[in-house]
Amino acid sequence: MPKPPPEPVDFVLSEPTIELAQLLKGVGACDSGGEAKHLVQSGGVLVNGAPELRRGKKLVPGDVVFCRGRSWRCVEGKAARGGKGAT
C-alpha cells in the first residue's frame, strides 16, 4: 500500500464533522456518491494511515485522508467552532 505524502492539504470543516464520502466529493477525488462508495469499499482510502471501508465514517479535525496519491487533513473552520459562518 502506498505511503501518504508527508504534507496533506488542509480541508476546512464547516461543521464539527464530515462524512468520508462527502469529503471525497468536496475535494474532487470522486464525482458522485456512488463513485465514493465504490472507492471506499474497495479499500482505496486510508484514514489516519489505516484502510477505511465505511463511506459514512465521521471525520473530525485532525483526521488525515489519503486517496489516489493525495491527502487532506481535516481542520476546524470558524463555523465548526460555533461561529456564524466560515470566512
Count of C-beta atoms within a 10 Å radius of residue 13: 22
In angstroms, the first-to-last Cα distance of the chain is 37
Q: pLDDT (tens digit, 9 = 90+) per residue, 41-69?
A: 999 999 999 999 999 999 999 999 999 99
- The whole model's pTM is what? 0.81
Backbone angles phi, psi at 79, to 5 degrees: -65, -35
Please report the pLDDT score of residue 5 as a whole number: 58
Dump the DSSP string for 18-58: EEHHHHHHHTTS-SSHHHHHHHHHTT-EEETTEE---TTPE
Give residue 77's pLDDT band: very low, low, confident or very high (50, 70, 90): confident
Give residue 7's pLDDT band: very low, low, confident or very high (50, 70, 90): confident
Going along the chain from its start, the domains and CATH numbers come out as 9-81 (3.10.290.10)
